[in-house]
């Protein structure tokens, strides 16, 4: 538990456990005495040192460069997903070749 940038470890009470992820009331007296209550009952506690930060989080915070963007996955040239595109390209090439070899029709010009 954390209070006023101080960390406290709550001790379990007999067979009951310390409150997990619930709110506890911290009472601080005039002279700095601290009492921690949960559901109206005083809890035993001890002050602990601040937990250390994970190294990965410290490294990310210290880096000024933004993280590199993840590359989009692109299938290889011989991947089956590319087969449909390959066939369509072949059909277009065959049509263009057929149109290029077809003789031009000459239409008679209408005279005025």
pLDDT digits (tens, 9 = 90+) for 59-97: 655 555 666 778 888 888 888 888 888 899 999 999 998
Whether the Cβ atoms of residue 36 and residue 26 lie closer than 8 Å to each other: yes
- pLDDT above 70 for 40: yes
Considering only CA atoms, which of 53, 22, 27 is closest in space to residue 39? 22
**DSSP 8-state assignment for residue 93:** H
Quote the strand ranges of 29-109, DSSP E: 34-38, 41-43, 45-48
Considering only CA atoms, which of 35, 39, 34 is closest in space to residue 16? 39
Which residue ranges make up each domain of the chain?
Answer: 2-48
pLDDT digits (tens, 9 = 90+) for 89-104: 999 999 998 887 777 6
Dihedrals φ, ψ of 47, to 5°?
-85, 140
pTM over 0.85: no
């Amino acid at each position: 538990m954390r209070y006023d940038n101080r960390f406290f470890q709550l001790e379990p009470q007999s067979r009951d456990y310390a409150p997990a992820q619930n709110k506890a009331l911290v009472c601080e007296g005039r002279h700095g005495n601290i009492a921690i209550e949960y559901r109206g009952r005083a809890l035993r506690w001890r002050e602990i040192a601040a937990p250390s930060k994970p190294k990965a989080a410290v490294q990310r915070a210290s880096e000024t460069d933004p993280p590199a963007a993840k590359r989009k996955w692109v299938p290889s040239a011989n991947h089956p997903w590319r087969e449909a595109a390959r066939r369509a390209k072949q059909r277009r090439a065959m049509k263009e070749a057929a149109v290029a070899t077809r003789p031009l029709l000459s239409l008679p010009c209408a005279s005025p």
